[in-house]
Amino acid sequence: MLDGFVPWPVEFASRYRSLGYWRGETLDAALRRYGSAFGDSAAVVDSDRSWTYSELDAEVDHYAAGLHALGIRPRDRVVVQLPNRGEFIAVMYALLRVGAIPVFALPAHRAAEITHFVDSTDAVAYVTADVIDGFDHRELARAVRGQTGNLRHVIIFGDAAEFIPLDSLRQQPIEHPTADPSDVAILLLSGGTTGLPKFVARTHDDWAYSGRAVAAACSYDATTRHMVCLPLGHNWTLTHGLLATFDVGGTLILAESPDPGITFDLIERHRVTDTGLVPGVALVWVELAPGGSADLSSLRRVVIGGSKLPLELARRVEPALGCQLHQAFGMAEGLCGFQDSDEDLETRLHAQGRPVSPDDELLIVDHYGNPVPAGEIGELLTRGPYTVRGYFRGGVHNRTSFTDNGFYRTGDLVRLLPNGQVVFEGRVKDQINRGGEKIAAEEVENHLLAHPAVRDAALIGVPDEILGERSCAVLVPHGAAPEQPEIARFLTERGIAAYKIPDLIRIADTLPRTAIGKVDKKKLRQEEVTR
């Protein structure tokens, strides 16, 4: 087992195996199997080209040979930050074929984050593209390399400058030893609540199962044509998009942005049947689809999740897009819920989904950890065949994020309907959900406190029509108060992703405290809402 991984207790592991959830097949072996089972069917289509399943499997062999020649070995961690292109998928599977562990970053991450990802996972390599969304990632790679000692290789998709061109890794295939399917396959970034982001280690067995279970919940089959238009390096897009689609031999269509100017044309051209959207993107689609000329009639369902879908928007989805609305929820730590086509409209409008495994255990508890009466709101705790038992190298943090008997404390306030659907009602964790992008308040507060004019800082979420929430920093200044552009400049210089930069700045003399001395964020939020 990879050091720093928290395994399931033996009795749970053998139960999950005997029930057929864990099949003892690596993700890479599964791709090999798809290569022969679905051979000539289209596996991936991106803005440039397409790959059949057998072409993708062969491509992975080439890249795996190059990675091995470079010295990448089993269990080596490699940070992957690539756009939604076929190369993302080829690199991911090539790393798995070598036995290495991809660490997924989002295109929005900058030097502070990538450096932390490299350091906290002891990554030996970083794979990114020359330019993503107009930002030069070679500059980013230079900054990261200057700040971290571990990184041996930087591999660039596109114009590589002084780095290793991804293309040069396409070499003559060689044999690789098979990894242990019960060991860690990938590392996913957690939404987080702590000062520094945590990683979630997912095994081949458990992650493959979650993809299979999502495929079943969404009734996927070989006619499924799923378009991923949110970043691929996220648990949602990787399971509901990639793993579930490949499991049934469907086709994955990759869009580099959810912008209707790009996606509507792709839907028409590739007869897309399924996709996943966050509410803010769904709002734009619903506004533009009815007056547009694109033929969206191939869509069967649009799945909306990642943050709470407002009811008023939910009602507009089916009339505007001409397909079924399904809601979904999930988390990098594991548990996810989806809806099926038989669900009545009321449920699909009001609830966020039903856990995809019969062995997902859900507890809804009060402030003291006691179960609430049926149907009442409480914090969701969960464990099951694809929910981790601790963060990767989580240390003491694991004692607060997980209960003694292995339940993950989600920090989400939910209600359970009699039909098993989960309704999201709020949050107890100190996190902001900005249009599906999760911001750990403490992480940003630490950066704010580094500003010479900031004496104290608190980050809160305030309601926003499009994003669901925007972030607001309440600052107690030393003397002259810094304004938003100055804070934005300072944080950008510190190398953090743009979505973490506070949308609003408020100045206060002091921060309100609770009886035990914690910053009273509830009060700050109320003050902001009633301004």
| Interface residue list for ligand J2J (CB under 6 A) | 191, 235-236, 239, 305-308, 327-332, 336, 352, 410, 412, 424, 427, 433, 438
Rounded to an integer, what distance in angstroms lies between the CA atom of residue 470 and that of residue 54?
Answer: 44
Between 264 and 329, CB nearer to ligand J2J: 329
Q: Which residue has the tokens 């350091």?
A: 119
- Would you say 117 or 163 has its CB closer to ligand J2J? 117
Q: Which is nearer to ligand J2J, 38 or 199 (CB)?
A: 199
CB of 489 to ligand J2J, least distance (A): 28
Distance CA 166, CA 129 (A): 9
**Alpha carbons 415 and 524: distance in angstroms, whole number:** 26
Which CB sits closer to ligand J2J, 36 or 400?
Answer: 400
Closest CA to 356 of 484, 184, 256, 212: 212
274 vs 412, beta carbon nearer ligand J2J:
412
CB of 428 to ligand J2J, least distance (A): 10
Token output for 298: 């191939």
Q: Give start and end residues of each alpha helix (H) in 232-344.
A: 235-236, 244-247, 260-270, 279-288, 311-321
Sequence-distant (≥ 6) Cβ neighbours of residue 253 within 8 angstroms: 45, 46, 225, 226, 227, 228, 266, 270, 272
Maximum distance among all Cα pairs of the chain, rounded to whole angstroms:
68
**Residue 89 or 314: which CB sits closer to ligand J2J?**
314
CA–CA dist 497, 223 (Å, integer): 37
Q: How far is the CB of 346 from ligand J2J (least distance, A)?
A: 17
Strand partners, 457: 475
How far apart are the C-alpha atoms of 301 and 339, rounded to whole Å? 10
CA gap 493, 488 in Å, rounded: 8
The secondary structure of residue 373, as a DSSP letter, is P
What's the burial of 355, exposed, middle or buried (CB within 10 Å: 0-12/13-18/19+)?
Answer: buried
In angstroms, give the least distance from the CB of 259 to ligand J2J: 20
Q: Of 137 and 308, which has the nearer Cβ to ligand J2J?
A: 308
| Residue found under tokens 């660039």 | 156
Compare residues 186 and 332 and give the one whose CB is closer to ligand J2J: 332
- The answer to whether 90 and 57 are in contact (CB under 8 A) is no
Measured in whole angstroms, the distance separating CA 468 from the mean position of its chain's CA atoms is: 18
CB of 384 to ligand J2J, least distance (A): 13
Asked if 406 and 389 touch (Cβ cutoff 8 Å), the reply is yes
Of 250 and 330, nearer to ligand J2J (C-beta) is 330
* Least distance between ligand J2J and beta carbon 87 (Å): 23
User: Following DSSP, what letter does each residue of 84-152 receive, concatenated?
Assistant: SSHHHHHHHHHHHHHT-EEEE--TT--HHHHHHHHHHHT-SEEEEESEETTEEHHHHHHHHHHH-S---
Beta carbon of residue 130, minimum distance to ligand J2J (angstroms, whole number)? 27
Question: Residue 128 or residue 433: which is nearer to ligand J2J going by CB?
Answer: 433
Least Å from the CB of residue 342 to ligand J2J: 20
Task: Identify which of residues 148 and 382 has a Cβ nearer to ligand J2J in the complex.
Answer: 382
- What is the closest distance, in whole angstroms, from the C-beta atom of residue 214 to ligand J2J in the complex? 8
Number of Cβ within 10 Å of residue 426's Cβ equals 10
Whose CB is nearest to ligand J2J?
330
